[in-house]
C-alpha cells in the first residue's frame, strides 16, 4: 500500500475481532512494459505493450525491423520502449518492470541474450535497459513466454501444466508446470527441433542427422515443394499453378493441400508423420495435460493440426493421449507478448515483497 501497488476497497465482515480491510491491486499504481521480438522469414517485427497492474493493455506499438547484431537489437528495443513511454496516453505513471521476449537462447538469471538466429550474441540486455529506464528487467525465451501466455489464456484450468509447441521457420517448445515456466537452474529447455526422428535423415546445422527441424520447419516444407516444381511437377489446382515458384509459401501450400493438390498433401502428410512422432514421444514422457500448437504451420487453419493430431494419437500411449487436450493456439502471435507481460507483473510483485 505504501508504494501504491494495492489499495483499500473497504472493510470486510468481522469473523470475531477487528474487521479486515479488503484490498485490490491498484491498476494505476504503475506500468509494466512487455516487448516481443519476432524474427522469422515471414515476420520481422518488434512489438511493445504497456500493461496496467491488472494486466490490461493500455497502449501498444508495432514496428518492422531488419535486426542484425547486438547493437541493432538493443537500439530497436530501447527505441520502441522510449516511444511507448513518451506517448501522452500513458501520463506520468511510473514504469516498474520491463519484460523482453527474445527468439533464442537466454540466460534469465543473468538477464542476457546468449544467442539468437539474428546474430545477437552475449548481449547484457538486462543491465543496459535497467540503466536507461530505471526499472527492473526480465528476459525470457519466446516459446517459454508464449507457453505462459497460453496457460493464462486457457479458461478451463483443469490442468496446471501446459506444453507449447511452435512450428515455423524454427521449432520451439515451452513448458509450464504448476503455473510456472519450467526452467531448471533458470536455463532453457525444449529443443524439440533437435529430436532425432529419422536416423538416416538430412544433416542438421547442429551436426546431428535426421533432426525434426530438418524435416518439418516451414523452410524445409517450402523447399521440397519448390524442388518438385523445378523438376517439372505439374500442379493440378489453380492455387499452385498460378503462382511463381519463388512466391510459394506456407499459407499457399496449406490452401493448395485443402483444395486437393496432391504434391502439397503428400509433403504435408509426411511432415505431419515426423511431427506426430515427436508429439507422441513428448506425451509419453511428460503427460502434459494440454498441448498448444502455434507458429506458421498451425496458425492458418486446422489442416496441419488435424494431420499431426492423428499421428500423435496412433503413436502415443493411449491412456496418456486421452488425458491430453491438443489445441491450436488461441492467442497466435500475441502469445509471447501476453506471456512476457504476465511474467513482468509476477516479477514486479515478487521484487516488491522481497524488498519489504
Q: Which residues bind Zn ion (CB under 5 A)?
A: 194, 204, 206, 208, 211
Cβ proximity to Zn ion, 219 vs 323, nearer residue: 219
Q: In what order do the strands lie in the sheet with 136-141?
A: 57-64, 44-51, 31-39, 95-102, 136-141
Select 112 or 141, whichever has its Cβ closest to Zn ion. 141
Name which of 206 and 314 has its Cβ closer to Zn ion.
206
We find the least distance from the C-beta atom of residue 123 to Zn ion, in angstroms, to be 24
CB of 196 to Zn ion, least distance (A): 8
* CA–CA gap between residue 287 and residue 101 (Å, rounded): 27
In whole angstroms, how close is the CB of 211 to Zn ion at the nearest point?
3
Cell of 179: 503455473
**How many angstroms separate the CA atoms of 315 and 269, rounded?**
15
C-beta of 140 vs 217, nearer to Zn ion: 217
Q: CB-wise, 44 or 194, nearer to Zn ion?
A: 194
Q: How far is the CB of 267 from Zn ion (least distance, A)?
A: 20
Closest among 77, 81, 68, 74 to 116, alpha carbons compared: 68
Minimum distance between the CB of residue 206 and Zn ion, rounded to whole angstroms? 3
Nearest 10 degrees: Cα torsion 248, 254, 259, 263? 60
- Do 240 and 250 touch, CB atoms closer than 8 A? no
Q: Which is nearer to Zn ion, 194 or 328 (CB)?
A: 194
Give min distance, CB of 199 to Zn ion, in A: 13
Residue 191 C-beta: closest distance to Zn ion, Å = 8
Beta-strand pair 44-51/57-64:
antiparallel
In eight-state DSSP terms, residue 93 is P
Cell of 36: 516481443
DSSP string, 275-343: HHHHHHHHHHHH--SEEEEESHHHHS-SHHHHHHHHHHHHHS-HHHHHHPEEEE-SSGGGHHHHHHHHH
Residue nearer to Zn ion on the CB measure, 61 or 204: 204
- Its sign, for the CA torsion 93, 95, 96, 99, is positive
Amino acid at each position: 500500500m505504501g508504494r501504491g501497488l494495492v489499495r483499500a476497497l473497504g472493510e470486510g465482515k468481522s469473523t470475531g475481532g477487528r474487521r479486515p480491510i479488503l484490498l485490490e491491486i491498484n491498476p494505476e499504481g504503475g506500468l509494466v512494459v512487455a516487448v516481443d521480438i519476432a524474427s522469422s522469414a515471414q515476420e520481422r517485427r518488434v512489438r511493445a505493450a504497456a500493461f496496467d497492474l491488472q494486466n490490461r493493455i493500455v497502449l501498444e506499438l508495432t514496428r518492422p525491423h531488419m535486426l542484425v547484431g547486438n547493437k541493432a537489437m538493443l537500439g530497436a528495443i530501447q527505441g520502441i520502449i522510449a516511444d511507448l513511454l513518451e506517448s501522452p496516453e500513458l501520463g506520468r505513471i511510473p514504469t516498474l518492470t520491463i519484460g523482453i521476449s527474445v527468439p533464442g537462447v537466454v540466460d534469465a538469471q543473468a538477464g542476457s541474450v546468449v544467442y539468437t538466429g539474428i546474430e545477437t550474441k552475449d548481449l547484457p540486455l538486462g543491465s543496459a535497459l535497467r540503466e536507461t529506464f530505471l526499472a527492473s528487467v526480465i528476459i525470457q525465451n519466446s516459446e517459454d513466454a508464449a507457453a505462459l501466455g497460453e496457460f493464462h489464456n486457457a479458461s478451463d484450468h483443469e490442468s496446471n501444466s501446459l506444453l507449447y509447441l511452435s512450428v515455423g521457420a524454427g521449432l520451439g517448445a515451452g513448458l509450464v508446470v504448476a503455473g510456472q515456466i519450467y526452467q531448471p537452474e533458470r536455463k532453457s529447455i525444449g529443443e524439440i527441433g533437435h529430436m532425432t526422428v529419422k536416423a538416416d535423415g538430412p544433416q542438421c546445422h547442429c551436426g546431428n542427422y535426421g533432426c525434426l527441424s530438418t524435416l518439418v520447419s516451414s523452410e524445409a516444407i517450402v523447399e521440397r515443394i519448390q524442388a518438385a516444381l523445378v523438376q517439372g511437377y505439374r500442379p493440378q489446382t489453380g492455387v499452385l499453378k498460378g503462382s511463381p515458384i519463388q512466391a510459394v509459401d506456407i499459407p499457399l501450400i496449406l490452401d493448395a493441400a485443402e483444395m486437393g493438390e496432391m504434391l502439397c498433401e503428400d509433403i504435408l502428410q509426411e511432415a505431419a508423420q515426423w511431427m506426430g512422432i515427436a508429439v507422441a514421444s513428448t506425451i509419453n514422457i511428460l503427460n502434459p495435460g494440454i498441448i498448444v500448437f502455434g507458429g506458421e504451420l498451425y496458425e492458418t487453419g486446422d489442416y496441419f493440426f488435424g494431420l499431426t493430431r492423428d499421428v500423435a494419437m496412433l503413436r502415443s500411449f493411449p491412456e496418456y493421449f486421452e488425458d491430453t487436450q491438443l489445441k491450436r493456439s488461441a492467442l497466435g502471435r500475441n502469445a509471447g507478448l501476453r506471456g512476457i507481460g504476465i511474467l513482468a507483473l509476477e516479477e514486479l510483485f515478487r521484487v516488491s515483497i522481497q524488498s519489504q
